[in-house]
Amino acid sequence: MTIPATEAVPSATLLGVRVHLITMRRAVEVIRQMLHGDVPRRILTAHTAMLARVHAAPDLLEVVNSADLTTPDGFGILLVGRILGLRFPERVAGADLAEALCALCAREHLRVFLLGAKPGVAEAAAAALIRRYPGLHVAGTQHGYFTGDEEPAVLARIRVARPHLLLVAMGFPPQDQWIARHRHSLNVPVCMGVGGTLDVMAGMFRRAPAWVQRAGLEWLYRAVQEPRRWRVAASIPGVILLAVRERLGGRARLRRSRG
């Protein structure tokens, strides 16, 4: 059995959620090892809305903290870390990580499966990715609006496609619960929840300009394009308040651990 390189990556606990202190380059290296491994692994990208949701529903902690690698996706995570006295090397945005992994799969002739979003989006995202990364093998696509009765057929399609990387766009927590429930039966080396990334890949929504991302305002840029995301933005003040209370209570901690 291949042991992933996350054993050498330190992690921090933010309001109960484990997040790895990792750079984009290192994350790609670690996941590359997983892609060539023989054990199904799960990648999760942490953001402030996730912290808020887990705080409100602690039963989600098991799903969140059982991920093999959790990256700091979003300026809010970096800010919460600073409040708690923790400094992440950099932001590792889920959209950027998914793109980097697709580029890696194209170079190394690995298969990718896109699952989730509305009908037609995964196909449009696949076409765009193939244009960007010549040689990329998209082994299959499937929208996320399948019923419980249709799920066995979807699982069978993924098994037959035998992807190395499965990107699941169902939003948090459904995508991560779905991956946790099925990853071992699917036997896909790496499954990663990507939220609304397929919509961006398909060109339905634009990523914020680089200067907006650097300013930590990508959440605002997305909320303007997708009004439903204002509820995500509304979670930020509450999470910051929780972090301040935890820091004042002296409970912030950094731990170096395996995976």
Q: How far apart are CA 62 and CA 54, in angstroms?
A: 10
Q: How confident is the model at residue 247 (pLDDT cuts 50, 70, 90)?
A: confident
Cβ atoms of 114 and 141 within 8 Å: the answer is yes
Counting every residue, how long is the chain? 259
Q: How confident is the model over 46-63, as pLDDT tens digits? A: 988 899 899 889 999 999
Contacts of range 243-247, beta carbons closer than 8 Å, 24 or more positions apart: 243/14, 243/15, 243/80, 243/83, 243/84, 244/83, 246/15, 246/84, 247/83, 247/84, 247/85
Q: How confident is the model at residue 253 (pLDDT cuts 50, 70, 90)?
A: very low
Question: Once rounded to an integer, what is the mean pLDDT over residues 90-105?
Answer: 96
Residue in this structure with the two tokens 């799960």, named with its chain if needed? 42
Give the tokens for residue 122.
Answer: 């995964």
Beta bridge partners of 77: none
Q: How confident is the model over 113-167, as pLDDT tens digits? A: 999 999 999 999 999 999 999 999 999 999 999 999 999 999 999 999 999 999 9
Is the full-model pTM beyond 0.95? no
Query: Per-domain residue ranges for the chain?
Result: 9-248
- Let me know the angle formed at the C-alpha of 180 by 176 and 184, rounded to the nearest 5 degrees: 140
Q: Which of 52, 30, 56 is nearest to 43 (CA)?
A: 30
Those residues whose C-beta lies under 8 Å from the C-beta of residue 120, and which sit 6 or more positions away, are: 143
Q: How far apart are CA 230 and CA 219, in angstroms?
A: 9
Give the tokens for residue 195.
Answer: 């939220």
